[in-house]
Amino acid sequence: MAVRSKLDLVKAVMIEGGWLAAGETPSADDSLIIENAYDERIGELRTDGLASWPADEIPLDVFRALVKLMANVMAPAFGKTYDPAVEEYCRRMMRRVTAKRRSGDPTPMQSI
């Protein structure tokens, strides 16, 4: 399974928010702020059943939704407005990926 790291997340969040140009490197302070916010947020996502991966191994299939979610969460720290509709949209996208899908296989019946 393809994964992305926290550093990949930090860079992508800053580019998504317009706070970093492609090819630039985030400052240590900006990286720390975003990583700390992600560490807090991943706990909430786990509680809600939307995250089950190790914090530094973000699956590629949820990465874009997580980037948008974190850019929205970080917006006030960088002088922009937080939008609850964006958070709901991102959570919905993550739910689509993480939802358990029925296999279609019959469940064997056992009598007691």
pLDDT of 78 strictly over 80: yes
Q: Look up residue 43 and give its two tokens.
A: 């706990």
Torsion sign across C-alpha atoms 72, 76, 82, 88: positive
pLDDT in tens, 32-73: 999 999 999 999 999 999 999 999 999 999 999 999 999 999
Helices (H), the chain: 6-17, 28-47, 60-74, 84-98
Q: Band of the pLDDT at 82, cuts 50, 70, 90?
A: very high
Is the pLDDT score of 111 beyond 80? no
pLDDT at 22: 87
Reply yes or no on whether the pLDDT at 101 is more than 60. Answer: no
Sequence-distant (≥ 6) Cβ neighbours of residue 87 within 8 angstroms? 69, 72, 73
What gap in Å lies between CA 112 and CA 98, rounded to an integer? 34
83-89: average pLDDT? 97
Q: Evaluate whether 31 touches 7 at the Cβ level (below 8 Å).
A: yes
pLDDT at position 10: 97
pTM of the full predicted structure? 0.85
Mean pLDDT score of the chain, rounded to an integer?
91
For residues 108 and 25, which has the higher predicted lDDT (pLDDT)? 25
